[in-house]
Each structure stands twice: as structure tokens, then as C-alpha cells.
Amino acid sequence: MDKNDLKDIIISDEEEREEQIHELIRGKRSLDINKELSKTLTFGERMADKIARFAGSWSFLFFFTIVIIAWAVLNSKLLFDDPIDPFPYVFLNLILGCLASIQAPIIMMSQNREAQKDRLHSENEYLINLKSEIILEDLHHKTDQIIREQALLKKELEDIKMKMEKASPNIQLRRGINGKSDTGGKEPELYS
């Protein structure tokens, strides 16, 4: 049952409505989206997530900073007369450009998967909220029904009391302050 089945729950037949509500209540709506999606991930998707997780970490930032500083030191003219990649570091720029062009789509794939997880979380939360709302509406309906039935019973009791008083004018049903029956007489004092 999903959000499109809401119109089916608003039914005039009480028994059918009760059955629909109990079906919704029995069904489990909360899911571990991460666990469900991890079952269907391909090898490439798992690798993209791991690469994106590492590329977006402090350890990657520190590691890459050390690599760039080491590259600059090793290729400076101060240490070697004929460095592999002299000062403007054209080869380093090529490597960084290639790394960025490979890393960007991998990070985008990972972000798309996270967006998909967010959408599934939202849909799941919507179904949970819908279920809760329907249950609350049903409880409110049942409470109103109980209040109406209680009012009818109270009216019937009052009618019965009035009929009894009319049938036997000598008998009066009274209640004392504490809510117990009061016969109107005093208890005899045994020890005075």
C-alpha cells in the first residue's frame, strides 16, 4: 500500500475501512535504505563510493599536499641540475588535470547515488507519516464513536432513572457527596 492507495482508505463501509487500516498497520514501512541499496551496488559503484569517500577526506588533502611539495622539492634546480619537470611544473599540471577529469565523474556518480538514497528516504518517511496519520485518524474516529455511545448510554440511564422515579414516587435514588447511595436516613448510634 502506498500514497496512491489513500483514496481507497476513505471508504464508507466501516468493515472494509477497518480491514484496509489493519492491512496498512500490519505492513512494515520503515526500511534501512542504506542496507537495501548496498545489496544492489555493482563493483564500479562500490569503488566510486570508496574513491569519493577517500578523495573528500582530510587524509587525502594532507597526502596530496605532501606529494605536491615533494614534487616541487625534487624538481627544483636547487637539488638537481637537470630536473624531470622544471619550475613551471607542466608535467605536474598535466597529472593534476588528468586526476581532476577522472575524479570529478567518480564524485558525481557517488553524489547521484546519495541523492537517490535521499529520495528513497523521503518516500519511506512519507509512507511512515501517512501510516501514522491514518492510524491517528482512525483512533480519533473510534474515540468519537465511543464518546457518542457513552452519551447515548448516559441518556438511557437517565431515562431509566426517570421511569423508576415515576413508577415508584416513594423511592428516590439519591447520591451522597462521596458518590455512594444515600438512603436519606441516619445510621443508628449504637454507643452513645
The answer to whether position 172 is within a domain reads: no
The answer to whether position 186 is within a domain reads: no
The answer to whether position 183 is within a domain reads: no
What's residue 131's pLDDT?
84
The answer to whether position 142 is within a domain reads: yes
Tell me which residue range forms the domain holding 60: 3-167
Whether the CB-CB separation of 3 and 127 falls below 8 Å is answered with yes
The answer to whether position 22 is within a domain reads: yes
Separation between Cα atoms, residue 16 and residue 10, nearest integer Å: 10
The answer to whether position 185 is within a domain reads: no
Exposed, middle or buried by CB within 10 Å (0-12, 13-18, 19+), for 98? Answer: exposed
Separation between Cα atoms, residue 128 and residue 79, nearest integer Å: 66
Q: What is the pLDDT of residues 87-139, one digit of tens each?
A: 889 999 999 999 999 999 999 999 999 999 999 999 888 878 888 888 899 89
Q: How many domains does the chain have?
A: 1
> Which residues share a beta bridge with 181?
175
The answer to whether position 24 is within a domain reads: yes
The answer to whether position 112 is within a domain reads: yes
Q: Of 18-32, 69-83, 140-154, where does mean pLDDT reach its minimum?
A: 18-32
Whether the CB-CB separation of 48 and 110 falls below 8 Å is answered with yes
